[in-house]
Amino acid sequence: MGEFILQNLNLVLPLFLLALGYVAGSIAERRHYRSIEMREQELVSLPAVTLKEIQEDDAVTGRLVVGSVVVSIDYFKRALAILRNIFGGRVASYESLVDRARREAILRMKEEAASLGAYIVVNMRIEMSAIGQSANRKKQVGSVEAIAYGTALIKQA
């Protein structure tokens, strides 16, 4: 058995990584979503909007708030995306990844705003970038970064 594995390492290893990627990736994703949903619920009363300005009667101060996160793909998602690259279509395996990154970035930004005592974040923007551009080429596993930023408005006492 051990000999068989050693002889066919270049076949066994990817299969092992595929299984590991699926199991670990699924667990991590499920836990992350649970955490995201819980925190979204907590912060639901602190709105983050894309409006540039809102009408305000009271005196307020504005502060830049930033939240950023880097989420890595796993081996299974990568394999699925490579297969998808052959046939074309929606790369479903990356959709949840991007969704998680975006929501997590907004949450971190809102958490910062909440700690400053803000009551709203205006002019919110989200940017995304790929880290490890050669993700699908050089047997590398890439990551996606999401950064959310906006202006937190804090009522002056």
Partner 1 sequence: MKFVPKEADGAVNISKTHPLAEMAWLGGGLFLLAALVYLGLTLLTGWIVHHLPVDAEVWIGKEILQQEPGIPSPPLKKRLDALVECLPQGSPLKRYDFSVRLIESDTVNAVALPGGTIVVFSGLLKEVASENELSMILAHELGHFAHRDHLKRLGKGIILGAASWLLFKNSSQPFLFTFVSGLDARYSQSQEEDADMWGLHLLYRRYGHVGGSVDFFARLLKKKRQGRLAYLFASHPHPQKRIERLVAAAREQKYPVKAVEPLGSDIQNLLEDLNRE
Minimum distance from residue 55 beta carbon to partner 1 (Å): 9
- Using CB under 8 A as the binding rule, whether residue 10 contacts partner 1 is answered as yes
The residue among 95 and 133 lying less far from partner 1, judged by its C-beta, is: 95
Query: Which residues 51-80 are close enough to bind partner 1 by CB under 8 A?
Result: 76-77, 79-80
- Using CB under 8 A as the binding rule, whether residue 141 contacts partner 1 is answered as no
SS3 67: strand
Which residue pairs, CB below 8 angstroms and at least 24 apart, start in 11-14? 14/75
Minimum distance from residue 134 beta carbon to partner 1 (Å): 18
**Among 17, 36, 114, 116, which residue sits at the site for partner 1 (rule: CB under 8 A)?**
36
Question: Residue 70 burial by CB count (10 A; 0-12/13-18/19+): exposed, middle or buried?
Answer: middle
- Using CB under 8 A as the binding rule, whether residue 130 contacts partner 1 is answered as no
Q: In the chain, at which residue ranges do the beta strands (DSSP E only) sit? A: 60-72, 120-131, 143-155
Strand 143-155 relative to strand 60-72: parallel, antiparallel, unpaired? Answer: antiparallel
**What is the 8-class DSSP label of residue 89?**
S
Q: Which residues bind partner 1 (CB under 8 A)?
A: 7-8, 10-11, 22, 26, 36, 40-41, 44-45, 47, 49, 76-77, 79-80, 83-84, 86-87, 90, 92-93, 95-96, 98-99, 103, 120
